[in-house]
Chains A and B, each alone.
Chain A
């Protein structure tokens, strides 16, 4: 339970971070995550879209739609255009992201004391 919470938190942090760089749509977010982590980390669509939906419900992101024109092959497929949902970080979302980053930094600093074996000063920074 705790482990999956951690993973969920991690995914949320990553998605919010990607959106902090500018509005994106779902597929672009997953591609960006894969690219930034050199393919080491991928967020499956089955996880991403429900998460985005949750973030939208929590008003951490806002969404808007625009039209996509089908490129390349236009075999007269019924209705070439389709709708694309764009996500944008809200002020509340940015706040949440900052909290998350802060919490993450604190947690890593503590972890670092254990695994780094380095001297740590009174403020928790690694010397």
Chain B
């Protein structure tokens, strides 16, 4: 874009500049914002102050400038979410639902930038910062959507521009300059002097102008250059007539009442009310013009119709927005049928799968339970066998001990003749030992018997 910036409504801060990533970000953000112009300007100014102050702080903290910029922009979070935050601060309505449906494409460019900002490696072309690494995508996106940042997401596109070729504006008065323009375009010139004059009740037509070379400039740019103090001057070029006046003048004259049919749009299905639709139009399409925002255009509902009384550029925006809404509704309607069938199929398959899984699980559980019972029974049988064995051992031991005890008692009674005193004492000691051992064995046998009974009871 080499054309000089003559539009008074465009500010330096939102003018995309290859050198200033913050300005670039702000320009993209401004487009996502979709709030009335004056508010948008304040928000952008505030965010610019925030970003630049933050970057200064981060630079003091030791970051490089590209890093600091990236960090500061990243901290603001996702562009779309931030814009949504500001819009929601303005409204408590469910307008945002419609916004979500219809603003997706406008937001896409912003996402590209913010995603890039977050992901771009710190190294690389460090001096170029955001714009350098953004390369074709980022910059091209900005230039391609070279609209007014605050004109709303659905701002009318510029009409086909008339570009001048090897033309020089010489004047010396303003009226003569317009005559030269008419000659060049081969058109009769009508300037609405009263409308474009900067001073009330006094025409600017005799005022002198500086000569300038208009080669390659568009007609709109030349007119803005000729009328620097006029608010939004523009023109109509039809049937050999060039008419120059302000946008407000043409708006008032070209205002038409048009009806938009909304029948067939699945508003209820999508959870949208008529108020949502109207609110969205008022905040997304040329927000400043509507009566609700202090302008003069009106929008109302009449049965299944939306009645819009506004100039053509607003109608164009309304039409674009509603066609998006209709497309979304079609997708929803089509989606409903197909989705329902698909979901039904999926549900059936899921159910069959669940039943099969349930059966499998049940069989597995049954097998596992049987196995468990089997194992327990085996263990019980083994244990019982082991205990029985032990019982027998103990019984044998006891019998042996009783035998020994009896034998010793016998020896003590009759055989004292040939036993020495030491042998006798030895026998007494062994007897004592045996009797305590026998007590132990009896106690243990009782315990084993009890356990055996327990196990046998549990087994059945």
Interface residues of A (CB under 8 A from B): 25-27, 44-47, 49-51, 53-54, 57, 65, 68, 70-72, 77-79, 82-85
Q: Is the CB of A49 within 8 A of B45?
A: no
Q: Is the CB of B20 within 8 A of A53?
A: no
Q: Which residue of A lies closest to B11 (CB)?
A: A79
Q: Is the CB of A50 within 8 A of B52?
A: no
Return the contact of B52 from the options A54, A65, A82, A85 (Cβ within 8 A): A82
Q: Which residue of B lies closest to A50 (CB)?
A: B85
Q: Is the CB of A46 within 8 A of B56?
A: no
* Bound form: Cα–Cα A7–B124 in Å: 40
Give a binary string over B350-362; 1 marks a CB under 8 Å from any A CB, 0 the rest.
0000000000000
Q: Which residue of A lies closest to B45 (CB)?
A: A83
* B374 interfacial by beta-carbon distance below 8 Å: no
* Bound form: Cα–Cα A82–B26 in Å: 14
Q: Is the CB of B75 within 8 A of A57?
A: no
Q: Is the CB of B53 within 8 A of A27?
A: yes
Q: Is the CB of B45 within 8 A of A77?
A: no
Minimum-distance CB pairs A-B, first 7: A50-B85, A46-B77, A54-B89, A53-B89, A85-B46, A83-B45, A50-B89
Report the minimum CB–CB distance from A47 to chain B (whole Å).
7
Q: Is the CB of B75 within 8 A of A44?
A: yes
Interface residues on B, range: 20 to 34
* B162 interfacial by beta-carbon distance below 8 Å: no
Q: Which of B35-75 contact A (CB under 8 A)?
A: 42-43, 45-50, 52-54, 56, 75
Query: What would 19 A/B residue contacts be, using CB atoms closer than 8 Å?
Result: A25-B49, A26-B46, A26-B50, A27-B50, A45-B54, A46-B78, A47-B85, A49-B46, A49-B50, A49-B82, A50-B86, A50-B88, A53-B86, A68-B49, A70-B52, A77-B20, A79-B12, A82-B49, A83-B45
* Bound form: Cα–Cα A103–B85 in Å: 26
Q: Is the CB of A85 within 8 A of B45?
A: yes
* B337 interfacial by beta-carbon distance below 8 Å: no
Report the minimum CB–CB distance from B90 to chain A (whole Å).
7
* Bound form: Cα–Cα A54–B91 in Å: 9
Report the minimum CB–CB distance from A72 to chain B (whole Å).
7
Q: Is the CB of A46 within 8 A of B76?
A: yes
* B17 interfacial by beta-carbon distance below 8 Å: yes
CB-CB < 8 A to B81: which residues of A? 46
Q: Is the CB of B56 within 8 A of A72?
A: yes
Report the minimum CB–CB distance from A62 to chain B (whole Å).
13
* Bound form: Cα–Cα A72–B60 in Å: 11
* Bound form: Cα–Cα A27–B46 in Å: 9
Return the contact of A45 from the options B13, B75, B89 (Cβ within 8 A): B75
* Bound form: Cα–Cα A16–B86 in Å: 18
CB-CB < 8 A to B50: which residues of A? 26-27, 45, 49
CB-CB < 8 A to A82: which residues of B? 13, 45, 48-49, 52
- Most B CB within 10 A of own CB, among A70, A71, A72, A78: A78
Report the minimum CB–CB distance from B96 to chain A (whole Å).
12
Q: Which residue of B lies closest to A58 (CB)?
A: B89
Q: Which residue of B lies closest to A83 (CB)?
A: B45
Return the contact of B49 from the options A44, A53, A71, A84 (Cβ within 8 A): A84
CB-CB < 8 A to B52: which residues of A? 70, 82
* Bound form: Cα–Cα A65–B76 in Å: 22
